[in-house]
Structure 1
Amino acid sequence: MPMSSYIESIRTRIGNDFLLLPGVTAVIRDGEQFLLARHAHSGLWSLIGGGVEPGEEPSDAVAREVFEETGARIQINAIIGAYGGEPMMVTYPNGDQVGYMTIAYECELLSNAAPDLDEIIELGWFHRDTILTLPRRHWIDRVIHDSPVRAQQDTE
Structure 2
Amino acid sequence: MATPDFILALRKKIGSDPLWLSGVTAVVIRGDRVLLAKRADNGKWTAVTGIIDPGEQPADAAAREVLEETGIVAVPERLAMVHVTEPVVHDNGDQTQYLDLVFRFAWQSGVPRPADGENTAADWFPLNDLPPMSDDMCKRIAAAVSDEQAAQYIASTELAANA
* TM-score, normalisation: structure 2: 0.81
SS at match of 2:98: strand
Residues 87-139 of structure 1 show CA distances to partners (whole Å, capped at 9, x for unaligned) of xx3211111111111111111121113212511100122234433x51x3432
Where do residues 35-114 of structure 1 align in structure 2 (5 Å cutoff)?
A: 35-86=35-86, 89-112=87-110, 113-114=112-113
- Runs of 5+ unmatched residues, structure 1: 151-156
After TM superposition, list the pairs within 5 Å mapping 1:121-136 onto structure 2.
Answer: 121-131=120-130, 133-134=131-132, 136=133
Question: 1:50 offset after TM fit, Å?
Answer: 0.2
Query: Superposition RMSD on alpha carbons, in Å?
Result: 1.8
Match of residue 156 from structure 2: none
Question: What SS does structure 2 have at the residue aligned with 1:29?
Answer: strand
Is the CA contact 2:28–2:106 (under 8 Å) kept in the aligned structure 1?
yes
Structure 2: where are the runs of 5+ without partners? Answer: 148-163
Partner residue in 1 for 2:140: 143
Question: Which stretches of structure 1, 4 residues or more, deviate above 4 A after TM superposition?
Answer: none
> Partner of 1:147: helix, strand, or coil?
helix
Q: Is the 8 A contact 2:36 2:123 kept in 1?
A: yes
Sort the Cα spacing of 1:51 and 1:39 in 2 relative to 1 into closer, same or farther, 3 A.
same
Task: Quote how far apart the aligned CAs of 1:149 are.
Answer: 4.3
Aligned AA for 1:12? Answer: K
